[in-house]
Amino acid sequence: MTDLSTTYLGIKLKNPLIASASPFTKKLDTIRQMEEAGLGAIVMHSLFEEQINLESNELDHFLNYGTDSFAESLTYFPDLEKYNIGPEAYLELVHAARGAVGIPVIASLNGVTSGGWVDYAHRIEQAGASALELNLYYLPTDPNLTGAELEEEYLRLVRDVRAMVRIPLAVKLSPFFTAIPQIAKRMADAGANGLVLFNRFYQPDLDLEKLEVTPTLKLSTSDDLLMPLRWTAILYGRVKADLALTGGVHTGQDLLKAVMAGAAAAMTTSALVRNGLAHARTILKEAEAWMVEHEYESVRQMQGSMSQKSVAQPAAFERANYMKALQSYDNRMPR
């Protein structure tokens, strides 16, 4: 019998497919449905730093970066009292979810600075979360803020959260670092047990009729798998942290590619939004059927088998692959 089990953040999962943070986790009913659909674990929707600071009337200075001269830009932030459930309700939901399902429940904190709100990491642990995912979602707009300064702020935050909790800690990174392997290593050194690749920054659009900046949210496709797949393959075996791939996991083959690149887990949301929660079962069945056909007995057997350190041509993940792709496209052009 094919063994789909894996270990992520030191936690044994029945399979590597995880539901990433989404509004699905705002209700116990849908949390139960995700377990019934076969998912190996779930990541709760994020509790935002701004929400916690709003509750204590202490908005962090990073919230105002770039807004000192443009007060109207503050209107781009949602009504945080209505945007999401409050901090206390979030803790209650995490506690209730742990009692409602048998799969691991990973809480999510979204923030960028180290402050009093970090205390909530400990409260999340007390609520019973199996692990904590720290979602570093910040778009720097201040031209005086250097990349090195921002990285140090991130690392300080990870260290401070690590000091607050004993449960496993994952850090969700963006792909916009100059040297991803180095920041990945530093995150692991700071106490991250796992790295999630990558955060998707939702891009605003312009409404030409209303002359307004409007938020947009576009679901991913399997094409979005390629960037996190590449970096998962490069980082596998080079950092002392488990890797989780997120973005573009829609099919059984997407899941298998993630694992073979080196991911201990693959996260999905867009596929569930587009096809319903039961689609998780389809993804898992497709993956298992492929493994049986190709005589793989377990996920552990295939994990990292197509990482950069394992493939016959490791340069395929680097610049040489770019030149080869251009040559391939050029050969298809009409003469």
Residue 304, pLDDT above cutoff 50: yes
What pLDDT score does 187 carry? 98
Residue 103, pLDDT above cutoff 60: yes
Confidence category of residue 200, pLDDT binned at 50, 70, 90: confident
Helix, strand, coil shares of the chain, percent, nearest 5, are 45, 15, 40
What pLDDT score does 138 carry? 82
Residue 324, pLDDT above cutoff 70: no
149-184: per-residue pLDDT in tens? Answer: 999 999 999 999 999 999 999 999 999 999 999 999
Question: How far from chain centre, in Å, is Cα 271?
Answer: 15
1 domain residue, yes or no: no
**Distance from C-alpha of 1 to C-alpha of 240, rounded to nearest angstrom:** 31
Does 49 share its domain with 177?
yes
Does 196 share its domain with 67?
yes
What pLDDT score does 331 carry? 64
110 domain residue, yes or no: yes
Query: How many structural domains compose the chain?
Result: 2
pTM higher than 0.75: yes
Does 89 share its domain with 155?
yes
Identify the weakest region by mean pLDDT among 207-211, 237-241, 321-325.
321-325
Query: What CA–CA distances, in Å, run from 176 to 91, 139, 180, 182?
Result: 31, 10, 8, 13
What pLDDT score does 128 carry? 98
Structural domain range at position 125: 6-304
Does 94 share its domain with 204?
yes
Q: What is the mean pLDDT of residues 255-271?
A: 98
22 domain residue, yes or no: yes
Residue 67, pLDDT above cutoff 80: no
Does 202 share its domain with 329?
no
Identify the weakest region by mean pLDDT among 94-103, 155-164, 318-327.
318-327
Does 152 share its domain with 19?
yes
202 or 242, which is more confident: 242
Confidence category of residue 50, pLDDT binned at 50, 70, 90: confident
- Cβ 117 vs Cβ 52: under 8 Å: yes
Does 282 share its domain with 335?
no
Residue 275, pLDDT above cutoff 50: yes
167 domain residue, yes or no: yes
Query: What CA–CA distances, in Å, run from 312 to 212, 274, 296, 329?
Result: 51, 37, 20, 23
Confidence category of residue 68, pLDDT binned at 50, 70, 90: very low
128-149: per-residue pLDDT in tens? Answer: 999 999 998 888 889 999 999 9
| CATH assignment of the domain containing 130 | 3.20.20.70
Percentage of the residues of the chain whose pLDDT score is greater than 90? 72
Does 35 share its domain with 88?
yes
155 domain residue, yes or no: yes
Does 263 share its domain with 231?
yes
Report strand pairing: 17-19 vs 41-48.
parallel
pLDDT averaged over every residue in the chain: 88
Residue type, 181: P
Does 60 share its domain with 128?
yes
Does 315 share its domain with 262?
no
Determine whether 299 is exposed, middle or buried from the number of CB atoms within 10 Å of its CB (0-12, 13-18, 19+).
Answer: buried
